[in-house]
Amino acid sequence: MKVSLTCKKAVDLISKKEEGKITLWQRFQLWNHFVECSLCKLFNLQNKSIVDSLPRLKNEPEELLSANEKKEIVDFSIQAK
């Protein structure tokens, strides 16, 4: 099987990972990609912090992120694809 991932595929796997939907092999492929690609590694870290903060976002929808910070995350997600 092929180990290397495209960035698009890696981003796809990162979102699925947060939902617990990827296999051990896909996890391995992701980590392998992170070694070579700091952009996807960063996206993975950001994605994690977004998911972790979701319960809080429900309670405080306006307070956590400034409009600028939200825009940065959205811009980053678009670039990563």
Task: Report the nearest approach of Zn ion to the CB of residue 15 (Å).
Answer: 14
Please pick, from the candidates 7, 50, 65, 73, the single residue that binds Zn ion as defined by CB under 5 A.
Answer: 7
Residue 64's SS3 state is coil
Please pick, from the candidates 22, 29, 37, 47, the single residue that binds Zn ion as defined by CB under 5 A.
Answer: 37
In the complex with Zn ion, the residue whose CB is nearer, 17 or 65, is 17
Q: What residues contact residue 33 under an 8 Å CB cut-off, 6+ apart?
A: 4, 5, 7, 10, 40
Q: Taking each helix axis from N to C terminus, what angle separates 24-36 and 38-52, rounded to the nearest 10 degrees?
A: 120
65 binding Zn ion? (CB under 5 A): no
40 binding Zn ion? (CB under 5 A): yes
